[in-house]
């Protein structure tokens, strides 16, 4: 039975990284198509304001707390989470695992050429990995069936969908029953990092839970997105206050 913590209506799994990785590995060997979403504060706030999106997140087989803000929010609400489980780290753990066990991954998203570059870098990092196929994230509704066929024909067990939230979660949810993969994960800009096009924060920032600050300093144009964090925390504090009345 899942142990989840409700953060502004989104059910976040109360799990460790190790448990999340083992659970994801099990999903890769289970019939049907499982879904893992990785909500950060921005995603949770979007779901709070969009009931349809919230329902989609809550339909996942696992929702990891991808963002220290979500962990802090759960603590404020009096229902603490064990730890942050970053979607990028979980994806890396899965890639390392399947490079040894023989399953394959399909990379879907980002600008033209990025998925191919990510594939090449991943081959260097994970010898033995099989990337069954790639597809950029620039497509129209008319292309959708062809993309699903391409994914299914590839024989991939694992599908990384990197279209950004909420598009990636909505795409996975809408197409889940058409896909033959065992596991779908929405992991945002991970292909840009895998390709080397974007650098992840240094280890010291990650350990100090300041990865968001590094990303902002590297790309101040993201100010509008980071502005969602204060709004999220204020909403959480109001929710906690209402809960304690």
Query: Is the Cβ–Cβ distance between 59 and 41 less than 8 Å?
Result: no
Interval 24-71: pLDDT, tens: 999 999 999 999 999 999 999 999 999 999 999 999 999 999 989 999
Say if strands 183-186 and 104-109 run parallel, antiparallel, or are unpaired: unpaired
Write down the pLDDT at residue 201: 56
Count the alpha carbons within 13 Å of 141 in the hemisphere toward its beta carbon.
1
- What residues are paired with 78 via a beta bridge? none
Instruction: Mention every residue, 6+ apart, whose C-beta is less than 8 A from residue 175.
Output: 144, 148
- pTM, two decimals, is 0.91
Averaged pLDDT for residues 152-159: 98
pLDDT digits 0-9 by tens, 156-174: 999 999 999 999 999 999 9
Alpha helices in 29-112 (DSSP H): 41-49, 51-57, 68-76, 87-101
| pLDDT digits 0-9 by tens, 191-242 | 999 999 886 655 665 565 555 554 555 665 554 555 678 899 999 999 998 8
3-state SS class at 103? coil
Between CA 147 and CA 139 the distance in angstroms is 9
The answer, yes or no, to whether residue 140 has pLDDT greater than 80, is: yes
CA-based R_g, the chain, Å = 18
pLDDT of 28-40, one tens digit each? Answer: 999 999 999 999 9
pLDDT for 198 equals 81
Q: What is the pLDDT of residue 243?
A: 79
Per-residue pLDDT of 78-112, as tens digits, reads: 999 999 999 999 999 999 999 999 999 999 999 99
């Amino acid at each position: 039975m899942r142990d989840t913590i409700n953060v502004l209506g989104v059910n976040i799994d109360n799990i460790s990284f190790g448990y999340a990785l083992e659970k994801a590995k099990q999903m890769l060997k289970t019939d049907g198509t499982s879904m893992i979403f990785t909500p950060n504060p921005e995603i949770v706030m979007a779901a709070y304001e969009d009931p349809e999106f919230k329902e989609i997140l809550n339909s996942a087989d696992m929702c990891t707390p991808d963002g220290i803000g979500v962990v802090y929010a759960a603590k404020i609400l009096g229902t603490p989470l064990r730890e942050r489980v970053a979607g990028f780290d979980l994806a890396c753990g899965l890639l390392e695992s399947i490079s040894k066990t023989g399953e394959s991954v399909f990379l879907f998203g980002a600008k033209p050429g990025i998925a191919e570059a990510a594939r090449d870098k991943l081959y260097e990092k994970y010898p033995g990995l099989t990337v069954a196929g790639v597809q950029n994230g620039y497509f129209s509704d008319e292309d959708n069936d062809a993309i699903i066929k391409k994914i299914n024909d590839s024989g991939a067990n694992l599908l990384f969908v990197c279209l950004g939230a909420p598009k990636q979660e909505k795409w996975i949810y809408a197409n889940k029953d058409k896909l033959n993969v065992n596991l779908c994960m929405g992991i945002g800009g991970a292909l840009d990092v895998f390709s080397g096009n974007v650098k992840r924060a240094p280890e010291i920032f990650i350990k100090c839970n300041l990865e968001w600050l590094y990303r902002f300093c590297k790309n101040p144009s993201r100010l509008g997105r980071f502005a969602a964090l204060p709004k999220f925390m204020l909403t959480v504090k109001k929710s906690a206050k209402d809960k304690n009345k």
